[in-house]
Structure 1
Amino acid sequence: MAKQQTIMREVKPHVSMQQRMTDYTQALTELKQGDGDVVVPVQLQRKYKCNQATNNPRQDKSTARHHRSEVLLKKSARKQWKDEMSKKAQKKSQDKALQSKTNKEEDAAEVQRCIERVRELLKGEKNLKIRDDDQFLLRYLRWVKFDPDVAFNKIKDIYKFRAENKEWHCSKPPAEYEDILALNIQVMLGDRDRRGRRVYLVKIGNVDTNNKDLTIYRLNHVDDLWMEVAMEEDETQRNGLAVIIDMEGYSLKLFRWLTPHNLSVCSRRFYNLAFRQIDIHVVNTSFLLNTSIALVYPFLDSEVKEHVHFHGRDWTSLHKFITPDVLPPEYGGHKPEVDYRKSQQYLYDNEEKLK
């Protein structure tokens, strides 16, 4: 085995760096006269800020500077990672806190006071003819954390928008849309995610572009039916909605719908949904779809953009938001295939809530 020697020379703290490097080089020169390898002890490595000796003070200084740069980069990356993890943990904690405290925040007397206040404000709007029952008003109060004045202004803005865009909003019962429901484009899944949110599935590939009766307006009417039923549910009002948009089979013919006006209206419709939390998850994307997204993305409202997540075909990414125990197999889930007829029956069973 090759003989190894080590530098054991003591370096005093008060000695200058130049003198230290001179002593260090001299020690190496003396030791290298032997046949063995030279091993620099950890103590000297730390003092001279370098690794294995090179017998070249300038190179050793350069190595030391490089080492310090690497350390700084690692510290910076570690800090960035810690900051990101801290933000994620904080958001998760806030979500849990919101979900766990919702019922406690809804003091019965205070809730009733807020309802009566909104009802009183609505009476002053002679041209606004809408429901004023408790459950209807609760959806807006829960949305804005029980601020009656803000809830009232939201209601006014929403119904003003609806009046200005009547063709986009539903005013008919589910039976009028049986032809669209039969295409299995939109459906509410039977289970909630771990945050207690409803999961709404939209399969764009099932849109029949050759069907002249299938317009963008009627598709939005069906969305309205599902949203109205969901917004009547206490748990959904409190916890929100998760939307999965499946782009498998996306057709070029749908480009004709992607006009600036249509995108602006759809963006506003999303903004008007009275859910505390709502996220959109886009899956099964393709090169064609990515091109479409690049074209339409600038027209979307900034609030909409914050809630849109693109997963492609990465089910692990999707499962970070919606766990597989509530999803069908086609999205990496453990539930059976979607029973569209059974799910759609929920609309008919709750038709009274749509009036």
Structure 2
Amino acid sequence: MMFQEIAFKAEMDRHNDPESVEEARILCDEEPATRQRNIEELRRMIYERGECTPPRTDDSFLLRFLRARRSVPARAHRLMVRYCNFREQNPHLWRDQDWFSYTRMGNVYEGVLFDRPDVGRLIICRLGLWDPDQISAEDLVSACLLLLEVGIMQPKLQVLGGTALVDCEGITMKHVRHISPSIALQAINVMGFAFPLHQRGVHVINCSRVFETLFHFFKRLAPADDLWKRVHFHGYNLNSLHRFIHPDCLPKRYGGLRDEVSLELWLTKIKQYKNKDFDTDMRTLGYCVD
């Protein structure tokens, strides 16, 4: 429990760890000598091209987009445009949302606070625990967006990125009927197509062929993105999952060694340890701050 509390406190850390310099070089092609020049180039593109109006243009905000696109300003700018367009087209997912209210999701979303270079932050979505009668599909997407917006504030996670594990155990046709093409497109955008996330991979477990077929239908909504190359289906085969995610990083239910943390507990701890900088960041993004 002591380690977990230290990990929760670290969620508010906004400092660039000197030890992450080498990780940023390997994972993000980030060189200390050219980092500031790339930030300034991205900022110039935003102002000169006028294709988007970001909520912020300070160095730390722009850097997360560069890290998500291998430190290439032109690619980071395209991602920024997608991000801003997504926010403009879906203001109901974030504007004036009470971020702490998403504790009602319980264990639908979980994470493992054991971040390492080959996996990053492991985020788990247990779709079978979602009750569509109580929580709308858009609320599910909105909660995921919140989880990522808070997580990506941490420089370490900007570098390490994240790995998603989608657990389909317990999914019924009732769930599937609520996943419309528009909801699927929102989820695709949040998972990396229009979000500054260094996406390490998406792994789907406990899924039938029916769900896999449905996925390939939704894939046509954004056919050209590299994200699809990192999506892997494992059926009910944990050994297949372990070839991509080491058991050191997985919860015990997936043959791993870690304890998972629910979104409910994570947000409760965020509220306990948050500070003025966190409130300012959330307010700037449009969330309701108490």
Task: Pick the TM interval, shorter chain.
Answer: 0.7 to 0.9
Is 1:184–1:206's contact at 8 Å kept on the other side of the alignment? yes
Whose Rg is larger? 1
Which residue is 1:298 aligned to? 217
Match of 1:231 in 2: 152
SS in 2 for 1:146: coil
Q: Which gives a bigger RCO, structure 1 or 2 (Cα 8 Å, sep 6+)?
A: 2
Q: Does 1:311 align with 2:234?
A: yes
1:244 paired residue number: 165
- Please say if 1:115 is aligned against 2:39: yes
Distance 2:260 2:183 in 1: 32
Structure 2 match to 1:354: 282
Give SS of 2:115's match. coil
Report if aligned partners of 1:169, 1:217 keep a CA contact under 8 Å in 2: no
Q: Give the drift of 1:198.
A: 0.7
* 1:278 maps to 2:278: no
1:117-156 paired onto structure 2 within 5 Å: 117-124=41-48, 125=50, 128-156=53-81
1:222 aligns with 2:143: yes
In the TM superposition, 1:21-170 aligns within 5 A as 99=23, 101-102=25-26, 105-124=29-48, 125=50, 128-169=53-94
Q: Which moved more, 1:132-141 or 1:160-169?
A: 160-169
Distance 1:113 1:257 in 2: 45
CA contact (8 A) 2:100 2:267 kept: no
Task: Output the CA distance in 1 between the equivalents of 2:234 and 2:52.
Answer: 45
User: Does the aligned pair in 1 maintain the 2:107–2:262 contact within 8 Å?
Assistant: no
Matched, 1:330 2:253: yes
> Structure 2: which amino acid aligns with 1:354?
M
Q: CA deviation at 1:346?
A: 4.7
Counterpart-to-counterpart distance in 2, 1:155 and 1:140: 7
Q: Would you say the 8 A contact 1:186–1:202 is kept in 2?
A: yes
Change (3 A) 1:344 1:312: farther
1:223 deviates by 0.6
Moved more, 199-208 or 296-305: 296-305
Gapped regions of structure 1 (runs ≥ 5): 1-97
User: Which of 122, 125, 130 is residue 207 of structure 1 equivalent to?
Assistant: 130
Letter in structure 1 aligned against 2:177: R
- Could you give the per-residue CA deviations for residues 142-201 of structure 1, whole angstroms, max 9, x where no partner exists? 222223233223212321232123234465242232322xx2111221112451511001
Report SS of the residue matched to 2:202: strand
Deviation, 1:242, is 0.6
CA distance in 2, matches of 1:175, 1:100: 31
The answer (yes or no) to whether the contact 1:170–1:222 under 8 Å persists in 2 is: no
Tell me by how many angstroms 1:263 deviates. Answer: 2.3
AA partner of residue 291 (structure 1): V
Read off the aligned partner of 2:56 and give its amino acid letter: R
Q: Do 1:99 and 1:195's aligned partners in 2 also have CA atoms closer than 8 Å?
A: no
Contact map agreement 2:52 2:84 (CA 8 A) in 1: no
User: Is the Cα contact below 8 Å between 1:170 and 1:220 reproduced in 2?
Assistant: no
Structure 2 CA distance, aligned partners of 1:334 and 1:320? 15
RMSD of Structure 2 on Structure 1 (CA): 2.8
Q: Calculate the TM-score normalised by the size of structure 1.
A: 0.62
Q: Within 1, Cα distance between the matches of 2:167 and 2:68?
A: 27
Asked if structure 2 preserves the Cα contact closer than 8 Å seen for 1:192 and 1:199, the reply is yes
Structure 2: how far apart are the matches of 1:306 and 1:275?
A: 15
State how many pairs are aligned.
251
Give the Cα–Cα distance (whole angstroms) in 2 for the partners of residues 178 and 114 of structure 1: 38
Tell me the distance in 1 between the aligned counterparts of 2:137 and 2:73: 34
- 1:236 deviates by 2.1
- SS of 2:97's equivalent in the other structure is coil
Matched residue SS, 2:118 = coil
Structure 2 gap segments, 5+ residues each: 1-21, 284-290
Aligned to 2:13: none
Confirm or deny: 8 A CA contact 1:239 1:277 kept in the other structure. Answer: no
For residue 192 of structure 1, give the secondary structure of its aligned residue in structure 2.
Answer: strand
Q: Which amino acid aligns with 1:314?
A: N
**What's the CA shift for 1:253?**
1.0
Equivalent-residue separation in structure 1 for 2:230 and 2:28 (angstroms): 27
